[in-house]
Chain A
Amino acid sequence: MALARIDRLSFRYPDACSPALEQVSLELEPGEFVLVLGSSGAGKSTLLRALAGLVPHFHGGHFAGSVTVAGRDTRSSSPAELAGTVASIFQDPEDQIVFAAVANEVVFGVENLGLDSREAALRALAALRSVGAEPLYAREAADLSGGELQRVCLASALALEPELLLCDEPTSQLDPEGAASFLHLVARLARERGLAVVLSEQRPALPLELCDRVLFLERGRLVLDATRDEAVSWLSRNAPSFVETPSRLSTNSTPGELVCSLENVSYAYRSDAPVLENVSLDLRRGEIVALAGLNGSGKTTLAKLACGLLETDTGRVERDGEASYLSQDPGRYVVCERALEEVALAIDGDRARAARYLAEVGLAGYESRHPRDLSSGERERLALAAVLATEPDLLVLDEPTRGVDPARKAELRTFLHERSADRATLLVTHDTAFADAVADRVVRLESGGLVPGLDRDARKEEEALLA
Chain B
Amino acid sequence: MKPLPALALLLACVVAALAAAHVLTLVALAAVGLTLALSASRKRARLYLIGIGISSIALFAVWPLTAHIGSHPLWNGPIVPVIGSIDVTREELVAGAIQALRLAVVGLAFAVWALRTDQDKLVREARFARRSVLTVALATRLVPTLERDASGLVEALRGRGIAVGGVRGRARLLTPLIAGSLERALTLAEAMEARGYGRPIANRGARARLGWNERAALAVSLLLVAGSLLWL
Contact = CB atoms under 8 A, between A and B. Distances in A.
A107 B123 CA distance: 12
Nearest to A101: B120
Interface string A98-119: 1111001001110111111100
B8 interface: no
A291 interface: no
Nearest to A100: B120
A390 B119 contact: no
Interface stretch (A66-74, A83-91, A231-239, A352-360): A83-91
Contacts of A329: 152, 156
Question: Which of A79, A87, A387 has the largest number of chain B CB atoms within 10 A?
Answer: A79
Interface residues of A, number: 59
Given A345-B162, A346-B161, A112 B205 contact: no
Interface stretch (B28-36, B75-83, B192-200, B210-218): B192-200
Given A95-B188, A309-B155, A327-B155, A87 B203 contact: no
A160 B203 contact: no
Contact of A81 (B190, B191, B199, B203): B199
A84 B196 contact: yes
B173 interface: yes
B192 A98 contact: yes
Given A80-B198, A112-B199, A54 B159 contact: no
Contact of B183 (A109, A120, A372): A372
B159 A78 contact: no
Contacts of A324: 159-161
A70 to B, nearest CB: 15
Task: Give the 10 A-B CB pairs with smallest separation, nearest first.
Answer: A325-B159, A83-B196, A112-B196, A114-B201, A332-B156, A109-B195, A346-B160, A96-B191, A95-B187, A88-B194
B138 to A, nearest CB: 7
B127 interface: no
A332 B176 CA distance: 9
Contacts of B193: 54, 57-58, 78-80
B196 A80 contact: yes
B157 interface: yes
A97 B92 CA distance: 48
B160 A387 contact: yes
Interface string B173-187: 100100110011001
Contact of A112 (B173, B188, B202): B202
B196 A98 contact: no
Contact of A98 (B138, B155, B161, B180): B138
A99 B191 CA distance: 13
Q: For the complex, would chain B's binding face be called helix, strand, loop or mixed by DSSP majority?
A: helix
B172 interface: yes
Question: Which of B124, B141, B176, B194 has the largest number of chain A CB atoms within 10 A?
Answer: B194
A196 interface: no
B180 A331 contact: yes
17 contacts: A54-B190, A54-B194, A79-B194, A80-B198, A83-B195, A83-B196, A87-B194, A96-B187, A107-B205, A109-B196, A112-B196, A324-B160, A332-B156, A345-B162, A383-B156, A386-B160, A390-B161
Contacts of B98: none
A124 to B, nearest CB: 11
A182 interface: no
Nearest to B173: A335
A136 to B, nearest CB: 15
A309 B202 contact: no
B157 A99 contact: no
A292 interface: no
Contacts of A90: 187, 190-191
B131 interface: no
Contacts of A57: 193
A335 B195 contact: no
Nearest to B206: A117
B133 interface: no
B26 to A, nearest CB: 32
A307 interface: yes
A87 B194 CA distance: 7
Contacts of A107: 205
A114 B179 CA distance: 34
Contact of B196 (A96, A160, A327): A160
B232 interface: no
Contact of A307 (B118, B159, B196, B201): B159
Given A80-B199, A111-B202, A104 B160 contact: no
A322 interface: yes
Contacts of A101: 120
B158 interface: yes
